[in-house]
Amino acid sequence: MTNLIVVGAQWGDEGKGKIVDWLSERADYVVRFQGGHNAGHTLVVGEKVYKLSVIPSGIVRQDTVSLIGNGVVVEPWVFLEEAEKIRSQGIDVNPERLKISESATLILPPHRLVDQARERARGQDKIGTTGRGIGPAYEDKAGRRSIRVCDLADPASLSKRLDVLLNHHNAILRGFGEEEVCKEKLFQDLLDVAPKILPYAVPVWRVLHEAKEQGNKILFEGAQGALLDVDHGTYPFVTSSNTIAGQACVGSGFGPTHIQNVLGLIKAYTTRVGEGPFPTELNDEIGQQIGEKGHEFGTVTGRARRCGWFDAVAVRQIVQLSGITGLAMTKIDVLDGLKELKICVGYEDNGVKYDYLPANAVGQSVMKPVYQTLPGWDEPVEGVRNWDELPTAAKEYIGRIEELVGIPVTVLSTGPEREDTILINDPF
């Protein structure tokens, strides 16, 4: 039995959807453990393209059960819309194959309204949130005023909890000069949606315990990237949850002693969406070329991603924070044809050298990358499915990254298709 955590080891968008889908062929359960519908995963299966934001990537595998853990924040209407969309694409979506933790926090309209009002008020100092209410929902969870999935089953309790929640959020909306949320309408909307959501609600921790006892393989799927972790990322330009591997246990109710491996997802270069420091960012033709060839636009937001060279320093930091045992590298084919490649091997600020990314936001923003230059390759990597067929320069590039971050690349993706994957050392 192997239980595996998959996390993004950069700023997200590393290709977790494809890799999780590929790995889930051998998984019995796939578990989403944090984040909300601000994180998108794109799966390409033959002629079909599936775009997921809150439902685990394992849903497209008919023999796999998908679980949404307690660490996820769920907007019920988005969940139902997404379920219906992939159902229309021929995927069997029902409470036997898809389950939500009864203690997962719900994202509600006031969360979205407060999120957007705050971002507008920040002006030039905006954080770069997606405006979908993720942060305010997590704030309510910490503030013990959130509405959880289980609350939908008790209308009397739900009404009281809504009073507490709206007393808080309507005061904020008044302060911004925004229209307040009507309790009666929201209450009725929740009563209407409850019968559609509750059939999916279960104690996920118990499902996982029984799965472990029966010897099933469990795959834990993270959202976003570890450099967006609220504690360990580029704060305050981070997401509202913990995205490092340890959150898989907290966000699902699964003990850490039951985990065997942690797979870190990396692109062969680096991207970032929204605001925040990005030491290796390329604001030139090469950065534009990488973005265009890599189709670097957000699955959920459609926003163009910022592109830059591979940052071995930041990835090594995440490897240590998450206890990553192997790396899955994606999009190496995007680098095809570049004459030379650069890898960030350190930082420098006013003559002072750093071998890690400091916690201070100002310090992060002034870090200058120290690069090592490697030769590129002319032979195409795209679609190669055998390690021996890779160009020598591509193997050397991968090898140097392994040396710098301290762990091996165990899976290599050379294209968007499921089969465009080279298994070097099975993490599962």
Residue 166 is which amino acid?
L
Pairing of strands 409-413, 29-32: unpaired
CA separation for the pair 58, 30 (Å, rounded)? 6
* Rounded-to-10 torsion of CA 334, 386, 21, 296: 0
Catalytic residue among 13, 28, 151, 333: 13
CA separation for the pair 59, 108 (Å, rounded)? 24
Are the C-beta atoms of 424 and 412 separated by less than 8 Å?
yes
CA separation for the pair 197, 199 (Å, rounded)? 6
CA separation for the pair 418, 392 (Å, rounded)? 24
Active site residue 13: yes
Helices (H) and strands (E) in the chain, counts: 12, 20
Active site residue 151: no
For residue 32, report the phi and psi dihedrals to the nearest 5 degrees: -95, 130
Helix (H) or strand (E) holding 80: helix 76-88
Residue 67 is which amino acid?
L
Beta-bridge partners for 45: 48
- Tell me the residue ranges of DSSP E strands in 46-83: 48-52, 65-68, 73-74
Catalytic residue among 21, 28, 41, 232: 41
Token pair belonging to 221: 């799927």
Q: How far apart are the first and last CA of the chain?
A: 9
- 339, with CB counted inside 10 A (0-12, 13-18, 19+), is exposed
CA separation for the pair 31, 43 (Å, rounded)? 17
CA separation for the pair 184, 172 (Å, rounded)? 19
Are the C-beta atoms of 68 and 100 separated by less than 8 Å?
yes
Provide the annotated active-site residues. 13, 41
